[in-house]
Amino acid sequence: MPRLKGKKIIIGISGSIAAYKAAMLTRLFVKAGAEVRVLMTPAATAFITPLTLSTLSRNAVLTEVSSESGWNNHVELGLWADAMVIAPATANTLAKLAMGLCDTILTAVYLSARCPVFIAPAMDVDMWRHPATQENVRRLQAFGNRLIPVGVGELASGLSGEGRMAEPEEIVQLLETFFDPGSELAKKTVLITAGPTHEPIDPVRFIGNRSSGKMGIALAEEAARRGARVTLILGPTHQNPPATACDVIRVETAQQMHDAALSHFPTCDVAIFAAAVADFRPVAAAANKIKKQAENKGITLELTETPDIAAALGAQKRAGQILVGFALETQDETKNAFSKLQRKRFDFIVLNSLNNPGAGFQHDTNKISILRQDNSVQDFELKPKYSVAVDILDEVETALKRSVK
Ligand code: C5P
């Protein structure tokens, strides 16, 4: 695992039963060659001892901003680190981070840190789902922090649901990918369509779908991190745009998405069609809001097809260009996806399964299979969407390497 060798990593532990996983996390980072400094909130010390963490990290563990032996320089530590990983992050610590409170060494270092910060929450399902916690998570993501999605399963409370801290191996893999230096995608131009489209019925109503754009945004972030120039054509979504430098073009309708994609297609090396484009739109949008009147009982909307962006661009595909499609099927999944792969001239297609809890629209996790031109199929585990983005872009890199030869 050479990517983490010599990397300076701060692990911040707050007071959750999942703090025991931080011992394994520390061990794995040290084993991968990273230099690790551990910070604990006072509450965390009730769950795991600083002695365990200082032994595993081979460094003194800080639990207070100041102690009898002096003041712990949080600013210096914040500047020292290449990455900070807050795991487990309790609801309380999340709230403090979101509000900028700094009453513990962990939160003080967080505020001083200039490095990327990864946050792995751990809490009971109801605390996790509470709008206050969800708002804090959104705030933290908007600040550019990377949220490591919670797992689903048995919780310490005895309840079952969302709220489990991500596994240490998963967190280490994430950081390894983050620090991966070379990439086939460096300096390449990547075009990504993402999110839903809204097809107006009248000035206030539209035909849309449940796509959040999260998968496409994760792809844009990961491609940009690998050094690609990214143009993200994003349909209407409330998600934050990518945290990394991307050219984001906001569109509403399939036609607008088509026009924007078409103008960027000739210069792109890779096009990823992650958008859930509406297949039909009303023939004409009413100029005024359609009223609920007696004569409108049983109203009929006349629909017409929208342009198939992927197919239109696929028809213009030039040698060396890599095209990636998505498929979301409810029946005959593999057969339909293979037929799309051929019809739209994709190099490979990503099949989303709706049959797995946690996969598909709106979720932070996804379960995919990759279907290739040589008829091979690779199934992946249920993972956070940013890890799925890693798998997809690894496949893109393989395809790029192959196309050069
Ligand atoms: O045919 P279907 O909509 O299932 O195809 C899915 C793939 O085609 C996705 O990659 C999607 O982004 C793309 N697509 C498109 N324009 C459409 C419909 C689908 O680019 N109008």
> Which pLDDT tens digits describe the chain residue by residue (405 residues)?
468 999 999 999 999 999 999 999 999 999 999 999 999 999 999 999 999 999 999 999 999 988 766 776 878 888 999 999 999 999 999 999 999 999 999 999 999 998 999 999 999 999 999 999 999 998 998 787 888 989 888 888 888 888 999 999 999 988 987 887 567 898 899 999 999 999 999 999 999 999 999 999 999 999 998 889 999 999 999 988 887 678 999 999 999 999 999 999 999 999 999 999 999 999 999 999 998 877 767 888 999 999 999 999 999 999 999 999 999 888 888 999 999 999 999 999 999 877 776 666 667 788 899 999 999 999 998 888 888 999 999 999 999 988 764
Rounded to the nearest angstrom, the distance between the alpha carbon of 146 and the centre of ligand 1 is 29
Task: Spell 13-37 as b/e; 16+ CB within 10 A means b.
Answer: bbbbbbbebbbebbbbbbebebbbb
Q: Cβ distance 227 to 185 under 8 Å?
A: yes
Task: Output the pTM of the full model.
Answer: 0.66
Alpha carbon separation from 6 to 2, 81, 82, 114, 306 (Å, rounded): 9, 11, 10, 18, 52
pLDDT of residue 142: 77
Q: Is the CB of 254 under 6 A from ligand 1?
A: yes
- Say if ligand 1 is within 6 A of residue 359 CB: no
Catalytic residues: 209
What pLDDT, on a 0 to 100 scale, did the predictor assign at position 182?
Answer: 64
* Ligand 1 binding pocket includes 327 (Cβ within 6 Å): yes
Q: Please work out whether the CB of residue 368 comes within 6 Å of at least one atom of ligand 1.
A: no
Residue 205, burial from CB neighbour count under 10 angstroms (0-12, 13-18, 19+): middle
Structure tokens at 206: 């539209």
Task: Please report the atom of ligand 1 found closest to the CA of residue 329.
Answer: 4
Dist CA 178 CA 273 (whole Å): 24
Atom of ligand 1 lying closest to residue 325 CA: 10
Regarding the beta carbon of 9 and ligand 1, being less than 6 Å apart is answered no
Query: What domains does the chain contain, in order, with CATH numbers?
Result: 8-178 (3.40.50.1950), 189-281+299-403 (3.40.50.10300)
8 A C-beta contact, residue 17 and residue 44:
no
- Helix, strand, coil shares of the chain, percent, nearest 5, are 35, 25, 40
- Among 319, 231, 333, 227, residue whose Cα is nearest residue 274: 231
* DSSP for residue 60: P
Amino acid at 149: P
Q: Please give the number of the atom of ligand 1 that sits closest to the Cα of 328.
A: 4
Write the DSSP assignment of 349-384 as a string of letters. Answer: EEEEESSSTT-STT-SEE-EEEEETTS-EEE---EE
Residue 1: the pLDDT is 43
pLDDT, residue 154, reads 86
Judged by DSSP in three states, 238 sits in coil
- Per DSSP (E only), the strands in 65-224 are 66-67, 70-71, 83-89, 117-121, 146-147, 151-154, 160-164, 189-194, 199-200, 206-207
